Every structure is written in C-alpha cells, then in structure tokens.
Structure 1
C-alpha cells in the first residue's frame, strides 16, 4: 500500500508540474509543499464522512490532480488550470467539484473547520475534520481565536496540519511576524501537538492513524516540517519563491530533477 501511495504521489507531482508548465503562472512552490499531506488525507483509508479543508487555498494546484483520481473532474480539465473562467482557479473555490469551502482568505478555512468540528461533536458524528494551515496564515488573529475555541471545547474531531515551510508570500515568516514558539502556544490552548516531516508518507500516515484511533482526546495540531517548492533545487526554500515558476530552459532542469522528460509536460 505504501509503495502504491508513493507511485500515486509521483503521478500527482507530474500533473502539478504539467499544469504550471502549461499555465506559466501560479503558486507552484505552495503546491509542492503540501502534496504529500493532501495525498494521505484524501487517498489513504479515508472515511467518506471525513471533511478536509485546505485553509492555505493558494496550494489548490496540489488538490486538483487528487480530485481527478477521486472522479470529481476529468484529467483533461487540468489543462484549463488558471485559465479564463476555469473551474480550477489559483485559489481553492467551491465552484470546483469536490471542494466544499472556498479558501485563500487567510485563516477562514481553519475557522470553518473548527465550526464543523463543533457540529460533529454536538451530533456525536463518527468522522473527522482535517485542516491544512499555512505558517504565514498563522499571523491572522482569527486563527488564534479558533484555536482557543477548539481547545476550550475539547474538539477531538479536528486535526490541523501546519505546512511549516517558513516562507509566506513575500518573505520568510519570521521576518514579517514571527509565530514561534509554535508547540508551546498550541499546547497552552489545550491541543495535543506532534511534529513530523511533511514529505514523509509514513510519518503522515502514522499520526493520522493515531488521531483516527482516538489517542489524543483533544484537538490535534501537527507541525509538518516541509520545503516550499520541494524538489526544485533553484526554487526550494527561497524567500522569494511564492510565485516563482521555472522559465525557458529551467524546465529542462526541473525534468532532470524529477526524472521525467520534457515531452511528458507538453502533452496536449
């Protein structure tokens, strides 16, 4: 199963690269930062009643190939990414089949996820709410209000994965507004906190399984250490990489690093 998921993630990454090769714009580095997290949450032993909220909506390009595999959209539609009147815009939108909540207005996805978790608690629903949060997004006040609420209400239906790559739209997070110390803050609000490497499928699966098994008895916050632009050497972890996309001959270098041919990105 793990090898199968590794193959699936590889195919997702090729689809993501192809989308940006054809669109020539968008948040490529954000998508490559969270694709493993999304793959496990959506494609690995998911309860059909579980809800997944991509609060960092600018990573939506990582979600679109997953929606293809789930049958919500056709693979050919990936070619329309970022195009005029496309159902696959830069930020997550509920006009895209399979996405319930539009996100990208920072912090709002997490607030919605917290409210949904409270509803599950009241209804005694046997399902989980998963939310992927950006670290720059944690600078929003509504994030901390929702975090305090979830801890106070002991919302053990919700698990939040922090895509902790250290970079926001224009600079490193700590340069704009430092959000550390993260663990101590969330623990103080009544959350269990785990730390994993967010590109390691086994580590993600282990913490997800522990959450589903009811190990924590409180909301779970997972600090997932990631690399923005993961896998592209000249973009990865660069402070200006938020909207940085390969150009011209750089795509050949990308193909070499992902062990694919340029022709694979140029499929019409």
Structure 2
C-alpha cells in the first residue's frame, strides 16, 4: 500500500505544480508540505464517516487535487484555480464537494474538529476526526482552547497532524514566536504525542493504523516534521517561501527537480 501511495503522491504533486504554473500565485509551498498527510488520510483505509479538516486552509491546493483524483470535482475545474469567479479559492471553501468546513481563518479548523469529535463521541460513532494544523497556526489562542477541551473530554477519536515545517507567512516560526517545546506543551495539556517524518508514507500510515486500533483515552497529536516547498530545490525551507511562486526560467529548475518536462505542467 505504501508503494502505491508513493505513486499517488507524485501524481498529486505534479497536479499541484500545474495549478501554480497556471495561476502564477498562491501558497505553493504550503501545499507541498502537507500533501503526503492528505494522501494517507484520503486514500488509505478509512471509514466513510471519517472527517479530515485542513485547519491550515491556505494549503487548499493540495486538498483540491486530492478531491479531483477522488472524483469529487472534475479535473477540468482545476484549470480555474485562483481564477475569476472560481470555486477553487486560495483558502479551503465549503463550496467544493468534499469540503464540509471552510478554513483559512487560522485556529478555527481545529475548533471545528474538536466539536465534531465530541459529537461523534456522544453518538458513539466509530469514525475518526483528523485535523491538519500549521505550526505557525499554533500562535492562535483558540488552538490551545481546543486542545484543553479535547483532552478534558477524552476525545480519543481525534488526531491532529501538526505540519511542522518551521516557516509561517512572514518568516521562520522560531524567529517570530518560538513554539518549542511543542511535544512537552501538548503533553502537559493532556495529549498523546507521536513524532514522524511527515513525508514518509509508511510512517504516516503506521500512525493512522495504530490510531484506528485505539484503546487509549487521550486525543493524539502527531508532530509531522515536514519541509515547506518540499521538492523544489530553491524554495524548500526558505523563510520567504510562504507566498513565493517560481517565475520564468525558475520553472525549468522545478521540472528538473521533479524529473518532468515543462510541457507536462499544462493542465489536461
């Protein structure tokens, strides 16, 4: 399964590149840091009632290509990304089939996720709630309110994947507001903690399988160490990569990084 999902990830990454080659703007680096997490959660074994909430809604391009591959939206609609009157906005919109919660106002997605997890708990649902949270997003106070509530309510049906790439909108997280020690803080709030390489499909799948097996009383935080702009040699982990997009001949280097031709960046 991991080998199959590796191929799916590659296909989705090329689709993400195509969106930004056409739009020339948006949060490319943010989409590339979380695509493995979304792939594992959507294409691995799952309950039909599972919910995945992309709290870092600016990574919406990754979610759009996933939903297109699932058939929730037509591939031809990807051509409208960031365009006039498009449904495919810069932030995750509930106008898109498969997205139940609009996100982008940082700190709100995890609050929605916590409320849904509580509802599932009350209804004795077996399905799980997954939330992808940005590391810079942790600077929002509402994140910590949600974390306190989830632990107090013993929401062991909820897993938060922290996209820990170290870069936020205006620079490095550690230089803007240091969030470390992340593991110790969430543990003190009452969460079970795991750490993985957020680009390792086998590691992500193993965590998800273990979480589904359950047995604990605590919600789960997975610190997924990722790289913003993953795979693009001149953008990866750079402090200014949040809204940066390749220009002109830089796309030739992107193609070399991903072993594709420039012609392959045209959306079919």
Q: Report the TM range for the smaller structure's normalisation.
A: over 0.9
Alignment match, 1:253: 253
Q: TM-score, normalised by structure 2?
A: 0.98
Alignment match, 1:179: 179
Q: TM-score, normalised by structure 1?
A: 0.98
1:236-261 residue CA offsets vs partner (Å, 9 max, x unmatched): 00001000000000001100110111
Give the conservation status (yes or no) of the 8 Å contact 2:19–2:267. no
Aligned residue pair count: 268
In angstroms, what is the RMSD of aligned CA positions?
A: 0.8
Alignment match, 2:124: 124
| Equivalent-residue separation in structure 2 for 1:60 and 1:24 (angstroms) | 15
Q: Aligned pair 1:244/2:244, yes or no?
A: yes
Give the conservation status (yes or no) of the 8 Å contact 2:29–2:243. yes
CA, structure 1 residues 109+6, in 2 after alignment: closer, same or farther (shift >3 Å)? same
Classify the secondary structure of the residue corresponding to 2:91.
coil
Classify the secondary structure of the residue corresponding to 2:99.
coil
Q: Aligned pair 1:33/2:33, yes or no?
A: yes
| Equivalent-residue separation in structure 2 for 1:135 and 1:2 (angstroms) | 26
| Equivalent-residue separation in structure 2 for 1:193 and 1:237 (angstroms) | 24
| Equivalent-residue separation in structure 1 for 2:267 and 2:78 (angstroms) | 11
State the Cα distance separating 1:216 from its structure 2 match.
3.2
Structure 1, unpaired ranges of 5+: none
Alignment match, 1:100: 100
State the Cα distance separating 1:215 from its structure 2 match.
4.2
Give the conservation status (yes or no) of the 8 Å contact 2:131–2:159. yes
Alignment match, 2:209: 209
Alignment match, 1:4: 4
Runs of 4+ displaced beyond 6 Å: none
Alignment match, 2:73: 73
Classify the secondary structure of the residue corresponding to 1:47.
coil
| Equivalent-residue separation in structure 2 for 1:165 and 1:58 (angstroms) | 14
Q: Aligned pair 1:143/2:143, yes or no?
A: yes
State the Cα distance separating 1:177 from its structure 2 match.
1.1
1:31-63 residue CA offsets vs partner (Å, 9 max, x unmatched): 000000000001111111100000000000001
Classify the secondary structure of the residue corresponding to 2:196.
strand
